[in-house]
Structure 1
Amino acid sequence: MNKPSTGKRLIDALAHRPVDRPPFWFMRQAGRYLPEYRKIRAQVGDFLELCYSPEAAAEVTLQPIRRYGMDAAILFADILLIPDALGQKLEYREGEGPVLEPIRTGAGVAALDPATIHERLSPVYETVSRVAGALPDGTALIGFAGSPWTVACYMVEGHGSKEFQETRLWALRDPQVFGALIDVLVEATTAYLGHQIEAGAHAVQLFDSWSGVLSEDQFARWCVAPTQAIVSQLKQRYPDVPVIGFPRGAGSKTADYVAATGIDGVGIDTSMPVGWAARTLQSTVAIQGNLDPLAVVTGGKAMEDQARHILGTLSNGPFIFNLGHGIVPQTPPEHVAALSELIRNWRNA
């Protein structure tokens, strides 16, 4: 017998409960494409300062909900707050992105201090609490963190990359010491997400943005196993809080990820065939995705045709409409409004 509705479409979909239409939210729905975000960003200045300013971060989180009425808000923060909280030097440079002091030795791993994270991250928990208290009743709040592999990529390289060669080489050459870094991140990430849940998050998402650079065996070791450890610990403490995983670029390895990790929902990127996802994954997990963000830049028929194809293919099972990656800065806000209206008017069979 189905449990009664929670009153939140997103949470119901993740629990495989019937919904009248697919819930929706968009990765990077709060961001530079919105003039109200740009105004706040100009006032605050430094990006890290914005992440650690509860009043401003809560306002930014709520802006797209006011505009578009998504079924979920996602906390405005950044996946690199964990290394910052662990004591790794981090700054964001204009036109360059995140820059960290690279960690590539056991001594560097040993210098990280998990005991310090909650003091540093306490403004984030306050942001979660503020947003949770301000959302409409039917709107869920998603907390999030970067998955250990993806966060480690930045910690080791010291910056963004397309291949993350230094990280992959370290993982291959010295898996024991690299594994110690992953263990630190599993512990810190679990604690971080737990505090977000206690502050009011209704669901949490793990972003493994760079899982696609790994071979099959390395994917199992550095993406699947750490995610399974985090999900297992969260489920023991918060059994009713769903966890979404997003192993971007994983392709067919996503099936192994879903089977092994215990996640409730899986994000799929734009390259994933929705028919394959429906046939292979949807009987066991809610699918989240996967409209091309550039289709939203384009708008009109191109956007609507792609959106209807995704809706038509995935709406017969547990499904959350989203993008295959985040909204890009050049996206016209009116295209997001049109997409939101299209989804809102869709009715499940």
Structure 2
Amino acid sequence: MTGPEAPLRDTSLLSVLRGERKDVPPVWLMRQAGRYLPEYRALRADKGGFLELVYDSEAAAEVTLQPLRRFGFDGAILFSDILIVPYAMGQDLWFETGEGPRLAPILAETPLEALKPDFSRYEAVYETVRRVRAALDPNVTFLGFAGSPWTVATYMVAGQGSKDQGAARRLAYGDPARFAAIIDAIVEATVTYLCGQIDAGVDAVQLFDSWAGSLAPLEFDRWVIEPNARIVERVKAIHPDVSVIGFPKGAGAKLPDYARGTKVDAVGLDETVDPHWANAVLPKGLPVQGNLDPLALIAGGDAVVRAVDNIRAAFVDRPYIFNLGHGILPDTPIDHVAALLDHVRGKDR
């Protein structure tokens, strides 16, 4: 049984999200299902492309489960993409080899009303969730996700990623009413998407705001905190016991305002955040996730040990989930991941 009537599952990661501190923190890694794994590369080559892989529910479920079999993480993260939301909202989505995602028509030049939503485009993702749920070890927490409205909007406005998110920032300053309508539409589509994932079987969800750090403070309040707060409130109204993790990459000094304003159940920290500072300024008892530099993991050895020990020392009295400060990189050595898990779990001592 899923949905609001489902009994609460009890796993190490879910316990931390509900405010319990663990001597050995639960571990999962952003992008743990992906290109650093040879089994993933083989499956993607067979399917022919990223979007084809996402929309093959059997294959996407396999990708989601691959890192669990190899490493025994405490959490599984759904294999999908944040741009499934604009795809369902009516934009065309494709991936250019070596260049990344593309969306059309771009909202810098096209009115939002011209898009024709097709929320059946969520169904393959929900089927992936159901397949993973059926196969997942009951001690592993299943995490769904969506992109946060600001980050999703940057792609919808420009049609692709950019270094400074300039097209979206220009529109937000120049025509805030039009930009607000885009944000409102993304909020609606995201609530539907996350609740659908929860109904299909995920235990908790994460909101990725990869480009939150590009905004000035007042704009951050308007386009990051306020829309995410609405998503959290709406999801909680339907699924009050499901935890929401917020990950506002680059938020820096705005993290305390984000945590209090959005009312997320846990905050993810990127690698630039001093964990000791974060522990001092974030609300007492708020669960925290993060924040090892993905490049330190590539280096491995003493660099990882020092960083991990520093992070854990900072959060010794706080509910804490070990993770990276952003996604694992494709050239990460597999044995470094195994060594990281051993160190976090104390198996190398």
Bin for the TM-score computed over the shorter chain: over 0.9
Match of 1:68 in 2: 71
Partner of 1:159 in structure 2? 160
State the AA in 1 paired with 2:231.
Answer: I
Q: Say whether 1:28 aligns with 2:38.
A: no
Distance 2:217 2:116 in 1: 31
Do the aligned partners of 1:37 and 1:63 also contact (CA within 8 Å) in 2?
yes
Structure 2 distance, partners of 1:251, 1:113, is 37
Match of 1:98 among 87, 94, 101: 101
TM-score by length of 2: 0.95
Q: Distance in 1 between matches of 2:9 and 2:200?
A: 19
Helix, strand or coil for the counterpart of 1:24? coil
Which one is further off, 52-61 or 302-311?
302-311
Listed as ranges, the gaps of 5+ residues in structure 1 are none
8 Å CA contact retained: 1:6, 1:12: no
Structure-2 separation of matches of 1:97 and 1:138: 35
Shift of 1:284: 4.2
Instruction: Name the SS for the 1:33 alignment partner.
Output: coil
Instruction: Tell me how far apart the structure 2 counterparts of residues 74 and 126 of structure 1 sit (CA, whole Å).
Output: 15
Q: Percent identity?
A: 51
4+ residue runs over 4 A deviation: none
AA in 2 matched with 1:180: A
Provide the residue aligned with 2:43 in structure 1. 40
Output aligned runs, 1:180-195, within 5 Å.
Answer: 180-195=181-196
Structure 2: 5+ residue stretches without partners: 1-7
Q: For 1:103, give the aligned amino acid.
A: L
1:233 aligns with 2:234: yes
Q: Distance in 2 between matches of 1:311 and 1:129?
A: 34
Are 2:76 and 2:141, in contact at CA under 8 Å, matched by a contact in 1?
A: yes
Distance 1:315 1:25 in 2: 18
Counterpart in the other structure of 1:81: 84
User: Aligned to 2:22, which of 19, 27, 34?
Assistant: 19
Contact in 2 for aligned 1:281/1:287 (Cα 8 Å) = no
SS at match of 1:170: helix
2:2 aligned with 1:7: no
Change (3 A) 1:52 1:71: same
Q: CA deviation at 1:18?
A: 3.9
C-alpha spacing 1:98/1:318, structure 2 compared with 1 (3 Å) = same
Match of 1:280 in 2: 281
Of stretches 45-54 and 5-14 in structure 1, the one that deviates more from structure 2 is 5-14
Match of 2:115 among 89, 112, 115: 112
Q: Which residue of 1 aligns with 2:142?
A: 141
Question: What is the Cα deviation at residue 305 of structure 1?
Answer: 1.1
How much has 1:108 moved relative to structure 2? 2.3
Which residue of 2 is the match for residue 212 of structure 1? 213
Q: Give the TM-score normalised by structure 1.
A: 0.95
Deviations 1:168-190 (A, max 9, x none): 01000111011000010000000
1:248 aligns with 2:249: yes
Q: Deviations over 1:10-50 (max 9, x none)?
A: 11001112434111100010111100000101111121111
Indicate if the aligned counterparts of 2:22 and 2:320 stay in contact, CA closer than 8 A.
no
Aligned-partner residue type, residue 271 of structure 1: T
| AA partner of residue 208 (structure 1) | D
SS in structure 2 of the partner of residue 99 of structure 1: strand
Q: CA deviation at 1:282?
A: 5.1
Q: Once structures 1 and 2 are overlaid, which stretch shifts more, 249-258 or 302-311?
A: 302-311
Q: How far apart in 1 are the matches of 2:123 and 2:10? A: 29
